[in-house]
Structure 1
Amino acid sequence: MSQSPISCELHDYIEIACMHRYQIKIKLKGGRVVTGVAVDTSVTAEKKECLVIENGERQSIELTQIARIEALSPDAVFKEIDF
């Protein structure tokens, strides 16, 4: 079963985080937590949208797997976003 894409409003927050290179903490739907700098978005060969972060290495996180993003950077335009 494929998951629905995220809303445009949530996608806007991801774009803001990437544009400003925010340090973020991501809680995934499975409970795992990942931190890093938001750098870009990408689309896989299977047409799945991902957030690319850097945390010593580049890591792609499928947008539909994100439960919450917390901006850790000072003066971020958002604090926490629930997906």
Structure 2
Amino acid sequence: MIACHLYDNIEIACLYRFPVKLLMRDGGRRKGEAVGMEYNQHRQECLSLKTHHGQRLVALKDISRLEVLVDNPHFMALDFE
């Protein structure tokens, strides 16, 4: 289960379309612009990322850390652990 403060900050990232780097639980990395929250075909809550390869959905349960790649007054990183 994702903590409420994480949802709030994810929404801020999407509102301002922050460029983000995601560190995945499996050790992988993803980069893109946070654009929204959606459900995938498996009904998992996902962060929608705009990437150079198009829009991608990343399940929140698979994210270990989200880092914002620009200075901002809101937050710079979220740990999902």
Q: Same fold (TM over 0.5)?
A: yes
Taking the TM superposition and a 5 Å limit, the aligned residue runs for 1:1-83 are: 5-56=1-52, 57-83=54-80
The secondary structure found in structure 2 opposite 1:11 is helix
In structure 2, stretches of 5+ residues that fail to align are none
Q: Deviations over 1:15-69 (max 9, x none)?
A: 1100000000000000101111000110124321000001121010000110000
CA contact (8 A) 1:42 1:51 kept: yes
TM-score by length of 1: 0.88
The secondary structure found in structure 2 opposite 1:21 is coil
In structure 1, stretches of 5+ residues that fail to align are none
CA-based RMSD: 1.1
- Number of aligned residue pairs: 79
Alpha-carbon distance in structure 1 between the residues aligned to 2:11 and 2:78: 13
Alpha-carbon distance in structure 1 between the residues aligned to 2:6 and 2:72: 19
Deviation at 1:8, TM superposition (A): 1.1
CA contact (8 A) 1:42 1:52 kept: yes
The secondary structure found in structure 2 opposite 1:75 is coil
TM-score by length of 2: 0.90
